């Protein structure tokens, strides 16, 4: 079976980008091993005032150190760090954006969680998603999988017992589908979101939501449907982050034939104004994204 290394070579990626992707993907092994010893919460809060799990800080420090030492990354922005980190001595000019441990509040329940990464060229982290050179996420479930795009479609790899990623599926396409997952509490949803959920439920859609964005999205990628975290009354930007969660996963969705929107615009067209910007998110199959747009348009 094709290895990650062989795939990257055949995809014609720049050598430094191949090395960087492989380096990030390798971190899944130490991260998996650390889950058992890092169950607790840390004493710290992140910039959003959220209590950090021990794995949030541990995985953030691991990936930041490895990428800093690689000489390949000029700038790195992490959901878990207040400031953008810069590495002026780097020989390559990649800028990395990441959520090192998405869904960390679920670690103690042993549900699947993941690491989300976007890679830009040019050393600047504040770029529209459409300009990504690569996006990936590692999902720590029954298997460790790597879902990757280098702008030439989406591939899914699984890590074998020797730590080698082997291709499970290439040219992944999001089918039209009827699964949906939504964050936020019903009383807090804005009216357009409530109207959308009423519409999908009337169409017979089925609810599947764990509270781990990366895992919930992966299910949508495989089976079709939509993941939503809407604008809430009193929280018009919702909960999730444009740079760390929307942009990399949205780029993967688009490469698989799906899309991402906040209900009004394609989030891949939006240039982040600042690293920790939040945004409502609707990401998934085209049938569902069309319904989001129609519903938002109607209830304007």
Binder among 71, 123, 141, 211 for ligand AFP (CB under 6 A) = 211
Query: Could you say which residues in the range 72-101 bind ligand AFP, by CB under 6 A?
Result: none
Q: What minimum distance in Å lies between the beta carbon of 79 and ligand AFP?
A: 8
Q: Which residues contact 287 (CB under 8 A, 6 or more apart)?
A: 176, 177, 224
Nearer to ligand AFP (CB atom), residue 175 or residue 211: 211
List, in order, residues 6 or more apart from 293 with CB less than 8 Å away. 261, 263
Touching ligand AFP, residues 135-194 (CB under 6 A): 183
Rule CB under 6 A: choose which of 104, 145, 147, 219 binds ligand AFP. Answer: 104
If you ran DSSP here, which 8-state letter would residue 246 be given? I
Under 8 Å between Cβ of 68 and 76 = yes
Burial (CB count <10 Å: 0-12, 13-18, 19+), residue 55: buried
The nearest distance, CB 71 to ligand AFP, in angstroms, is 30
DSSP characters over 24-70: HHHTHHHHHHHGGG--SEEEEE-TTSPEEEHHHHHHHHHHHHHHHHH
Number of residues that bind ligand AFP (CB under 6 A): 12
Smallest separation (angstroms) from ligand AFP to the CB of 31: 14
Do the Cβ atoms of 58 and 50 come closer than 8 Å?
no
Contact status, residue 201 vs residue 124, Cβ threshold 8 Å: no
Identify the residue among 7, 54, 103, 272 touching ligand AFP (CB under 6 A): 103
Residue span binding ligand AFP (CB under 6 A) among the ranges 62-70, 131-139, 149-157, 207-215: 207-215
Region from 69-77, 148-156, 166-174, 208-216 binding ligand AFP, contact rule CB under 6 A: 208-216
**Taking CB under 6 A as the criterion, which residues in 49-68 touch ligand AFP?**
50
User: In whole angstroms, how close is the CB of 251 to ligand AFP at the nearest point?
Assistant: 17
DSSP assignment letter at 151: S
Contacts with ligand AFP by CB under 6 A lie at 50, 102-106, 183, 211-213, 239-240
């Amino acid at each position: 079976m094709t290895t990650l290394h062989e795939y990257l070579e055949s995809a014609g990626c720049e050598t430094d980008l191949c090395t960087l992707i492989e380096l990030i993907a390798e971190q899944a092994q130490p991260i998996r091993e650390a889950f058992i010893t890092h169950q607790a919460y840390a004493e710290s809060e992140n910039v959003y005032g959220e209590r950090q799990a021990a794995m949030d800080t541990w995985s953030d420090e691991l990936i930041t150190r490895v990428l800093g030492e690689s000489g390949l990354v000029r700038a790195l922005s992490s959901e878990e760090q207040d400031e953008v980190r810069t590495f002026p001595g780097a020989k390559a000019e990649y800028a990395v954006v990441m959520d090192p441990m998405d869904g960390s509040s679920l670690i103690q329940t042993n549900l699947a969680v993941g690491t989300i990464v976007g890679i830009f060229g040019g050393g600047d982290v504040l770029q529209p998603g459409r300009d990504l050179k690569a996006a990936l996420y590692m999902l720590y479930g029954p298997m460790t999988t790597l879902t990757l795009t280098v702008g030439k479609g989406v591939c899914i790899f699984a890590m074998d017992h020797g730590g080698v990623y082997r291709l499970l599926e290439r040219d992944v396409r999001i089918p039209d589908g009827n699964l949906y997952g939504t964050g936020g509490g019903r009383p807090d949803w804005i009216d357009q979101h409530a109207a959308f959920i009423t519409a999908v439920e009337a169409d017979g859609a089925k609810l599947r939501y764990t509270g781990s964005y990366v895992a919930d999205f992966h299910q949508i990628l495989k089976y079709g449907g939509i993941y939503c975290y809407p604008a809430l009354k009193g929280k018009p930007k919702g909960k999730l982050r444009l740079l760390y969660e929307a942009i990399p996963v949205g780029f993967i969705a688009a490469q698989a034939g799906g899309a991402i929107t906040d209900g009004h615009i394609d989030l891949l067209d939006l240039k982040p104004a600042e690293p920790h910007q939040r945004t409502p998110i609707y990401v998934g199959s085209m049938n569902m994204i069309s319904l989001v747009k129609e519903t938002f348009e109607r209830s304007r």
